Amino acid sequence: MGINVIGITHPGQVGALPGGTNVLVLADDGTYADEFLDTDFRAHQLVVRAHGRGSAFFGVADKARELGADRIFFGGALDTAASLTTGEDPVLVLGVRPPGGPIACNAAFLEWLDRWPRPARAYREDVDHWLAENALREGLRVELVSWRMEPTVPMRRKLTA
Q: Say whether 9 sits in a helix, a strand or coil.
A: coil
Domain of 32: which CATH number? 3.90.550.10
Q: 55 near 48, Cβ under 8 Å?
A: no
**Is the torsion defined by CA of 26, 3, 106, 19 positive or negative?**
negative
Residue numbers of the domain that contains 138: 3-159
Tens of pLDDT, residue by residue over 119-152, are 998 988 789 999 999 999 999 999 988 765 443 3
Domain count, the chain: 1
Alpha helices in the chain, H assignment, sequence order: 33-38, 53-67, 78-84, 107-113, 120-123, 127-137
**What local confidence, expressed as pLDDT, does residue 99 receive?**
56
Q: Does the structure show a pLDDT above 90 at 19?
A: no
Nearest CA to 59 out of 102, 9, 105 is that of: 9
Provide the pLDDT confidence category of residue 100 given band limits of 50, 70 and 90: confident
How many of the other CB atoms lie within 10 Å of CB of 99?
7
